[in-house]
Amino acid sequence: MYLKSIKLVNYRNYDQLYLDFDKRINLLLGKNGQGKTNILEAIYLMSIGKSFRTNKDKELIRFNSENTYIGGIFSKKNDDNIIELVIGNNMKKGIKVNKVSIDKIMQLLGNLNVVIFSPEDLKLVKDGPKERRKFIDREISQIIPLYYNYISNYNKILTQRNKLLKSNYLDENLLDIYDEKLSEYAKYIYLYRRDFIKKIELLSKKIHKNLTSDVEDLKIEYVNQIHVSDDDGLDILKNKFLEKIKSSRNLDKQYRTTKIGPHRDDISIFINSLDVRLYGSQGQQRTASISLKLSEIELIKEETLEYPILLLDDIFSELDQKRQKLLIEEFENIQIFITSAEENHKLIFEDKKDVNIIYIEKGRASQ
């Protein structure tokens, strides 16, 4: 899959922008603050329907404008597809896939698959569990759009349950109802996370071996409170969850929040049997983060039979030459967008002919 072109109107610092892209490498060069990441953000928006930088869609609208348009044409299995978004100050976000309006993000997911890699991702291993859950959830959602619904429905009920726990009058019957509803979504979340973490482990193990010249063995473990086993089916997962959340009710009442559930899950990452988050060096933590992140690309390929588009935001200045090379060469057949403020990064591609260099200056682009 690859993105052929993009059109932006009144988006961030662009008034009007139209760009054609290369099937392989697109290098966005420009000084700080000129609008490079804004373009990656627009591509990401077409994939997920929201930004990776903000939850407030209105920030995407160019200052002093009423609304913004983001549109792109991408090729998938030799067919052209078009995705369009309109975000306005006084309207609901509009999304169209091939000119047909959709009303649920779930219907957008899986059309244009994108993996973004930015310097923050190098902290994936070091960060708190929230970031790792986000990573896992985004990965699964791209492959199984329905999963996104399970997560958002789970979160909605979780919010209601926590509100009830904080209220002065505690209706136990209502808590029972919430527990039951939560369990209906939690069972899927446990099941998919278990299965996907296993797949991610296999893929990232291989990549990690490559990155460390066979020296380091990477392992990933799914950390959850209900002891999910390999062969647990949906009913068993549901019951395990219900049992656990009921046994924690008194504690929940005391703390006025829900202490049990997939919103407390995490993954542990081991290198040669040692927990990297606790014992790994900074370099090991970064390399493990890269391995995890790159496994996302292979996983999407395995599950959807098409490679996603790779967005590398400012990542080149963070990597040594060996890893820069690996990134580009490991993924010979995929479309990559790279932003950099260092013009000499184009030298990395000197011997490659399929490179499209785009210079960005103050919301204007020249190819």
Ligand X SMILES: Nc1ncnc2c1ncn2[C@@H]1O[C@H](COP(=O)(O)OP(=O)(O)OP(=O)(O)O)[C@@H](O)[C@H]1O
Q: Which residue ranges are tagged as binding site?
A: 30-37
10 Å Cβ neighbour count for 278? 8
116 binds ligand X (CB under 6 A): no
Q: Binding to ligand X (CB under 6 A): which residues in 288-327?
A: 314
37 binds Mg ion (CB under 5 A): yes
- The binding site for ATP comprises 30-37
Tell me how far apart the alpha carbons of residues 238 and 226 are, in angstroms, rounded to a whole number. 10
63 binds ligand X (CB under 6 A): yes
33 binds ligand X (CB under 6 A): yes
To ligand X, the closest distance from the beta carbon of 367 in angstroms equals 16
62 binds ligand X (CB under 6 A): yes
Contacts of 7 (CB under 8 A, 6+ apart): 17, 18, 69, 70, 71, 72
For residues 29 and 269, which CB has a smaller minimum distance to ligand X in the complex? Answer: 29
- Picked from ligand X, Mg ion, none, the partner binding residue 32 (CB below 5 to 8 A depending on kind) is ligand X
Vertex 143: Cα angle to 138 and 148 (nearest 5): 50
259 binds ligand X (CB under 6 A): no
One of 82, 86, 223, 341 touching ligand X (CB under 6 A): 341
340 binds Mg ion (CB under 5 A): no
Helices (H), 13-144: 36-48, 105-108, 129-143
Binding-site size, Mg ion (CB under 5 A): 1
10 Å Cβ neighbour count for 332? 7
Kindly list the distances between the CA atom of residue 269 and the CA atoms of 118, 121, 150, 230, 336, in Å, as whole numbers in the listed order. Answer: 20, 15, 25, 18, 27
One of 1, 7, 12, 228 touching ligand X (CB under 6 A): 12
Contacts of 238 (CB under 8 A, 6+ apart): 183, 184, 186, 187
To ligand X, the closest distance from the beta carbon of 314 in angstroms equals 6
Binding-site size, ligand X (CB under 6 A): 17
Tell me how far apart the alpha carbons of residues 67 and 116 are, in angstroms, rounded to a whole number. 26
For residues 28 and 125, which CB has a smaller minimum distance to ligand X in the complex? Answer: 28
One of 26, 34, 47, 284 touching ligand X (CB under 6 A): 34
Question: Of 26-34, 78-86, 129-137, 228-236, which part binds ligand X (CB under 6 A)?
Answer: 26-34
For residues 32 and 321, which CB has a smaller minimum distance to ligand X in the complex? Answer: 32
Tell me how far apart the alpha carbons of residues 3 and 133 are, in angstroms, rounded to a whole number. 28
The residues with which 80 forms a beta bridge, in sequence order, are 75
345 binds ligand X (CB under 6 A): no
| Residues binding Mg ion (CB under 5 A) | 37
